[in-house]
Chains A and B, each alone.
Chain A
């Protein structure tokens, strides 16, 4: 029922005013260094007021977002779709950790940003006891570990897990009755498929590899995309020209990061009408995506500052803002 979210949407309206605007992003890009950029962020309420470390500040901001949404929504499972990618990232890390027989604590994403505890995944993979994992993860965890142990092909194990992640995101989007979540699921899977197809084409991978790597979605025919990618890069562009992603071709030609930026901007453009919706869960989903986009953009700017990239080079990578 739409009325269920009236209070939550009103709270989100207040928080939207604290999102970083395009002019703040400009001042971050123009800051002389990472330290000055961090100070600008702190002035806008980022971090806990004490940390001067970029990673700690960004992590604190992610936690703030999820804690805020957790206050408003009694059943957070409606937003699981945004966290599935993190679960499968942890699964990949756990599979590699077990196969390599080593411990890598720092590569796992924490409980606040996942639907399944990373320690549970690690234990399940280590002990080959997958029953504790969600049903959708059990088969893929066993398959990825077997493949890695028997072939030593880390890339193959990764695509098995990545495809399972995309399938789950798309399925969750498809089942949702909210337009924003459906659109997020479709766009996430389609953009991942395009990136995979381009990369596989450049690496001269065959059609069988592509068939295994690409996940089904509505806006792309993965059979045609796999065929095009196994032919040539021009065939991929020609195929994409016949899809709703025709506008992305010029960005794909530039670089993978330019295409990623195009996808992020498209997502922001699609969710922007939610700024004016007073009911439904849409504005909450849009706020989460806007915050994720904002944090990703700030991370990129800070990384550019740390690596002494030019202002122009950083500006080219900056995403559009929600507000």
Chain B
């Protein structure tokens, strides 16, 4: 039971990587299907639709970053895990990771839906590529907010003693 705090802290890091990564994987997959559909008939659109396909992939990177920061703070990266991590501190780590985990998953799926619609737009109106990028990019704002909050919270939790 003495390591319960460490367990919750690692659970938080795992959830950040897991949920945000799963959301991105699903999102990039959805956008990839749409991109493949466009490139089948319009191979010259490859560059444009590839960029749109990649947009929902950023949440996975943010989740990975949060997991790294959390594990680094816990000393796991250096092979020296924080043995004295209290239950309160472990739960605080978990709470700090959740914004990125949950918002990362939801925003990746919704960004993918916007990206699929934008891929359809760019296939019909290639000259509107710039504007078509903006619609899914708007969803990114909320993933960045979550990333910011998770990083600030992790820094704060790191300063908790005991």
Contacts and interface: CB of A to CB of B under 8 A. Distances in A.
Contacts, number: 51
B97 interface: no
A6 B34 contact: yes
Interface stretch (A12-20, A107-115, A158-166): A12-20
A13 B38 contact: yes
What's the interface size class on B, roughly?
10 to 19
Interface stretch (B16-24, B71-79, B86-94, B114-122): B114-122
A132 interface: no
Q: Which of the listed residues B35, B120, B124 has the most CB atoms from chain A within 10 Å of its own CB?
A: B120
A10 B37 contact: yes
A9 B124 contact: no
Contacts of A10: 33-38, 116, 119-120, 123
Contacts of B124: 13, 16-17
Interface string B86-115: 000000000000000000000000000100
A6 B38 contact: no
B3 interface: no
What's the interface size class on A, roughly?
10 to 19
Chain A's interface: helix, strand, loop or mixed, by majority?
helix
A17 B40 CA distance: 14
B41 interface: yes
A6 B30 CA distance: 7
A11 B117 CA distance: 13
Which 10 A-B pairs rank lowest in CB-CB distance, beginning with the nearest?
A10-B37, A14-B41, A6-B33, A7-B33, A10-B34, A11-B37, A7-B37, A278-B117, A278-B116, A13-B120
Interface of B: 30, 33-38, 40-42, 113, 116-117, 119-120, 123-124
30 contacts: A3-B30, A3-B33, A6-B30, A6-B34, A6-B37, A7-B37, A8-B37, A9-B34, A9-B37, A9-B120, A10-B33, A10-B34, A10-B35, A10-B37, A10-B123, A11-B37, A11-B40, A13-B123, A14-B38, A14-B40, A14-B41, A14-B42, A15-B41, A16-B124, A17-B124, A276-B117, A278-B117, A278-B119, A278-B120, A279-B116
